[in-house]
Amino acid sequence: MSIRFTKMHGIGNDYVYINGFEQRVDNPPQVARKIADRNFGVGGDGLIIVLPPDKGVDAHVRMRMFNADGSESEMCGNGIRCVCKLAHDRGITRANPMKVQTGRGVLTLDYTTNGDGKVDRVTVDMGEPILDLKKIPVTKSALTRAGDGRAHQHCVQLGAEGAEIWFATFVSMGNPHAVFFDDNNAQIRGSKLKTIELDRLGPRIENHPAFPRRINVHLVQGHSRGELTMRTWERGTGMTLACGTGASAVCVAGALTNRTDREILAHLPGGDLNLRWDENSNHVFMTGPATEVFSGEWVENHA
């Protein structure tokens, strides 16, 4: 089996993209696990397939996104910017704004092009955040104890009673996120954000009993009401250089708990994103680059 692909990334959050208008992918979860392998495959945080929209859906293209472990996710903020770039640059559609069908509904994207007529920067209407714990979903009874007394903050306990306590704000952007700020989590205060062993902490929180669909984990250090730095452990993938839905969730969580304004600049390991939680529409808007790395043909080795 051979598959033509394009490798793309949004500030380092990299995926293998397949043009589903031209070729069919059987068993995408299995293909994702193999093609995203950084040692034996093309390498990436997962697989994204760009497809025709479902019949009756008012969209230009459809996006299916699979994590490196083969699990399918509802959305990827950095990934959808590259979907827009692939669809435009390959001539699938030149619509601007572009409507993309995702696991969380149809999202609208506005974009700009460079001197070569290629998409370089995209603003995504990420839709409305979901704050109801049951809908995120978070099982409140499994959190075992109350938060620190502030609204929208909850306690995540790891291990035995009192062993390791973290305070989080939960937000869904169509996929679930747990946001941990430095001002009430001493474990990540100051320079600790850079040195914390996220590869150890991330999977423990991701797979906590309170999260029936697992959860994305974000550690945040605030600099001002308009600027912050974050690190991410992505559900089903691991540590990533960026997470667009996560940055959107951080924007909401910051404003919700009065830590930040509704418009922020987020510094992620792979680069920067601009986020705005619009008060009138209640929608979150995310702006960032989309970059093509290379294209090729992947041939599965059955040996």
Q: Do 99 and 216 have their domain in common?
A: no
| 271: containing domain | 133-282
CA–CA distance, 226 with 276 (Å, rounded to integer): 10
Q: Do 195 and 294 have their domain in common?
A: no
**Tokens found for residue 39:** 């040692």
Specify the range with the lowest mean pLDDT, choosing from 69-78, 100-109, 153-162, 188-197.
Answer: 153-162
pTM higher than 0.95: no
Task: State residue 11's pLDDT score.
Answer: 97
- Domain of 137, CATH number, reads 3.10.310.10
CA–CA distance, 191 with 202 (Å, rounded to integer): 18
**Tokens found for residue 140:** 């409140």
Provide mean pLDDT across the span 128-150. 88
Q: Which of 82, 84, 243, 251 is catalytic?
A: 243
Q: Do 273 and 149 have their domain in common?
A: yes
84 φ/ψ angles, rounded to the nearest 5 degrees: -60, -45
pLDDT digits (tens, 9 = 90+) for 86-136: 999 999 999 999 999 999 999 999 999 999 999 999 999 999 999 999 999
Q: Which of 76, 82, 84, 251 is catalytic?
A: 76
Measured distance between the N- and C-terminal CA atoms of the chain, rounded to whole angstroms: 13
Provide mean pLDDT across the span 276-300. 97
Would you state the torsion angle of the CA atoms of residues 201, 205, 209, 213, taken in this order, to the nearest 10 degrees? -130
Q: Do 37 and 79 have their domain in common?
A: yes
pLDDT digits (tens, 9 = 90+) for 167-176: 999 999 999 9
Task: State residue 21's pLDDT score.
Answer: 97
Q: Do 153 and 105 have their domain in common?
A: no
Q: Do 216 and 109 have their domain in common?
A: no
Cβ distance 286 to 264 under 8 Å? Answer: no
Task: State residue 216's pLDDT score.
Answer: 98
Task: State residue 145's pLDDT score.
Answer: 67
Task: State residue 301's pLDDT score.
Answer: 73
CA–CA distance, 302 with 17 (Å, rounded to integer): 22
Q: Do 231 and 139 have their domain in common?
A: yes
Q: Is residue 303 over pLDDT 60?
A: no
Q: What sign for the dihedral angle of Cα 117, 123, 125, 131?
A: positive
Q: Do 88 and 170 have their domain in common?
A: no
Q: SS3 of 116, please?
A: coil
Q: SS3 of 5, please?
A: strand
Task: State residue 80's pLDDT score.
Answer: 98
Q: Which residues pair with 170 in a beta bridge?
A: 178
pLDDT bucket at 77, cuts 50 / 70 / 90: very high
CA–CA distance, 125 with 50 (Å, rounded to integer): 18
CA–CA distance, 28 with 51 (Å, rounded to integer): 13
* Alpha helices (H) in 7-99, listed in sequence order: 28-35, 77-89
Task: State residue 159's pLDDT score.
Answer: 80
Cβ distance 47 to 57 under 8 Å? Answer: no
Q: Report the half-sphere exposure of 273 (CA within 13 A, side-chain side).
A: 35
Q: Do 11 and 79 have their domain in common?
A: yes
Would you state the torsion angle of the CA atoms of residues 14, 235, 180, 106, taken in this order, to the nearest 10 degrees? 70
Cβ distance 84 to 123 under 8 Å? Answer: no
Q: Do 119 and 152 have their domain in common?
A: no
- For tokens 């059955």, the residue is 302
Provide mean pLDDT across the span 240-252. 97
Q: Do 153 and 97 have their domain in common?
A: no
Percent of the chain, pLDDT > 90? 92
CA–CA distance, 186 with 35 (Å, rounded to integer): 39
Task: State residue 149's pLDDT score.
Answer: 72
Question: Any idea what DSSP says for residue 147?
Answer: -
The question of whether 84 is a catalytic residue gets the answer no
Q: Do 88 and 12 have their domain in common?
A: yes
pLDDT digits (tens, 9 = 90+) for 9-49: 999 999 999 999 999 999 999 999 999 999 999 999 999 99
Task: State residue 302's pLDDT score.
Answer: 58
Task: State residue 161's pLDDT score.
Answer: 61
In the chain, how many domains are there?
Answer: 2
